[in-house]
Amino acid sequence: MKVLTTWQKFQLFYHGILGNGDRRTNKWPLVSSPVPIISIFLCYLLIIWVGPKLMAKRQPVYLKPVLIVYNFGMVCLSAYMFYEFTASAWLARYSLLCQPVDYSNSPNAMRMARVCWWFYFSKVIELSDTIFFILRKKNSQLTFLHVYHHATMIFNWWAGVKYVAGGQSFLIGLINSLVHVVMYLYYGLAALGPSMTKYLWWKRHLTSLQLLQFFIVTIHTTYNLFADCDFPDSMNTVVLAYSISLIVLFSNFYYRSYLGRKTTKTQ
């Protein structure tokens, strides 16, 4: 009996990753292989490492027009995705409790798969948030939470589009798209300048909304993980672990930004 080398085992594993995906989405951009998204991830880390060093002795880059267009553009894209997730799920009569993936080429199934891809691609676009921080020398914004959230979402949704482009994972995209409409609206208004500051009192509520989405996803995924539902338990397990990690990180951010600061001022 021939013993496989480590390299041969890796090749079998890699080909298994490529061969077991959703055939409908396999040829779509950034989907067929993990290599492109891994390359983007490595470039992202390189920019985070090198960027602040290159900007150390330079003046912040003036990006006001770019930020206004970018943020309001993301509002429009997020609103479009929210509509498509909602319409696709409604027309296909999706269940909120248990919804298997429809791997057929029916119009509704393909519509849901396409909006899943757009959601995945939007996470690649959102890596620009970090680049803008670096160019504006807002290095205090490059927290572990920021980098972790942006870097991991691209991998989570690569796997989502590669293997489960639809089904119950639609709820994550639907809720997150709605939250991002609000979030990028906030950033877009903030980019307009100091004159908008008096209208941006609701930043704390934005963080609360972000936390709420993670609690909803956690409850929804926990139910599906233990229910008899024709959806991969492996995907549910990853989503559950990830959503719990975000609850912990965002709760810590909320405490430090609002509750901890309030306590300090009181003292």
Note the residue count of the chain.
Answer: 267
Q: Which long-range contacts (CB under 8 A, 24 or more apart) does 125-131 make?
A: 125/74, 125/77, 126/74, 126/150, 126/153, 127/40, 127/44, 127/154, 128/70, 130/44, 130/47, 130/48, 131/47, 131/51
Among candidate residues 146, 149, 180, 205, the one labeled active-site is 149
- Per DSSP, the residues of 80-106 read HHHHHHHHHHHHTT--SS------S--
- Per DSSP, the residues of 203-239 read HHHHHHHHHHHHHHHHHHHHHHHHS--SS-HHHHHHH
Question: How far is Cα 203 from Cα 25, in angstroms, rounded to an integer?
Answer: 37
CB of 45 closer than 8 Å to CB of 152: no
- The CA distances from residue 14 to 6, 59, 82, 234, in Å, are 12, 45, 33, 17
Sort 246 into a burial class: Cβ within 10 Å, 0-12 / 13-18 / 19+: buried
Active site residue 149: yes
Task: Give the three-state DSSP class for 198.
Answer: helix
Question: How far is Cα 243 from Cα 217, in angstroms, rounded to an integer?
Answer: 7
| Residue from 191, 189, 117 nearest 154 by CA | 117
Active site members: 149
